[in-house]
Structure 1
Amino acid sequence: MLGVKRLGVLAGGAAAATALLVGSAGSAQAASAENYWNVAYGQLYVSAWECNTYVTSCSWYTKVQLRNNGGRIMDRITNTTKIYANGISATVTISKDQASATISGNQTSIGQVKWTKYVSNLVELSGSASPSWTTIGITTEACLTGNGPGSYGDVSAKCAKIGLW
């Protein structure tokens, strides 16, 4: 089941670039996507959230989780988050705590943050993206992989993606 929630209005072309670059600081406008899959031991849930209006930086947040699990715990659960820059010669610096990375290009995967937990049902990641003036926006993608409880085995990538792509 795929769900997409958008708050705020995003115009096309040059108006989009202007709206994103001139947006007011502290604006509550955001975009999010979520996906879930029912499995024998519960429900695998993935969500991605990002701001869609910014002046100098844009926050992002992702979550992967085993829900409705009847007390079962994942042997291993991984949240892999990718941040993309959208635009001509776009550049974004992303950060998670103290680490940061900058990569340039036209809708290029500019960064990946990955966290694995063992004997857990939840992995959340968050950070900030600071796009260049040529960036129209960012795209945030979160993917869940892991190993189900007991003998259930590996979980192939289950993803949610939000933004311009």
Structure 2
Amino acid sequence: MRRGIRNTIAAVVLSAVALGGVALPASAVSSSSSAKLPGTGAVIQANVWLCNTWLTSCGFQTSAKALKSGKAYKVSKIRNTADFNAWGIGTVTVGAVTVAGTSGSARNLVWTNYKTWISDHSGSASATWSIVALGLCSGAYAEVSGVRASSSACVGV
């Protein structure tokens, strides 16, 4: 009799997890990369952070930063590109943007700022049950005094 009760409880818990009723512990992966802005002593840095334990949604952050001696360095133009990659059959939705189709499909979000040191994205991506993996790359691009540089960092790809 006890075995039957345990199996019933296990089935209820698994059903709740499958329906998204139980949250899993927060876990994330991150990466960072930088490249020199020639002749300025500054660097352009790409940063990415993505949860790696999720049922139906996953938090993310990407950024492009211009830094000199570890401090903000104002540039003419700075752009951050968040490039999502989904594996499986189904969809991943980020705000109003949907990554759909087969394995390896990708979608970019682009944000450009002027006369500042940072450009970034953050939010939550929602996935259908048939998406088995989600990857994210952050692209960083900056221009100052005719000098250009770019860098990228990826997780889960």
TM-score category by the smaller chain? Answer: 0.7 to 0.9
Contact 2:66 2:142 in 1 (8 A): no
State the one-letter code of the partner of 2:25: S
Q: Deviations along 1:80-112, whole A, 9 cap, x unmatched?
A: 11111122x2421122xxx33242211110x21
Inter-partner Cα distance in structure 2 for 1:26 and 1:122: 32
Q: Within 5 A, what are the aligned runs for 1:2-21?
A: none
**Larger proportion of helix:** 2
Say whether 1:129 aligns with 2:125.
Answer: yes
Inter-partner Cα distance in structure 1 for 2:139 and 2:34: 11
Inter-partner Cα distance in structure 1 for 2:47 and 2:36: 15
134 and 71 in structure 1: CA distance in 2 versus 1, 3 angstrom threshold: closer
- For 1:136, what is the secondary structure of its paired residue? strand
Inter-partner Cα distance in structure 2 for 1:37 and 1:106: 31
TM-score (ref. length: structure 2): 0.76
How many residue pairs get aligned? The number is 136
Aligned residue number for residue 76 of structure 2: 75
TM-score (ref. length: structure 1): 0.73
Contact 1:45 1:65 in 2 (8 A): yes
Q: CA deviation at 1:142?
A: 0.8
Inter-partner Cα distance in structure 1 for 2:135 and 2:73: 33
Q: 2:148 aligns with which of 130, 154, 158?
A: 154
* RMSD of equivalent CA atoms: 2.2
Inter-partner Cα distance in structure 2 for 1:93 and 1:72: 33
Q: 1:38 aligns with which of 36, 39, 47?
A: 36
Contact 1:85 1:131 in 2 (8 A): no
Aligned residue number for residue 101 of structure 1: 98
Contact 2:85 2:135 in 1 (8 A): yes
Q: Which of 1 and 2 has greater Rg?
A: 2
Structure 1 unmatched runs, 5+: 1-20
Structure 2 unmatched runs, 5+: 1-16
Identity %: 24
- For 2:113, what is the secondary structure of its paired residue? strand
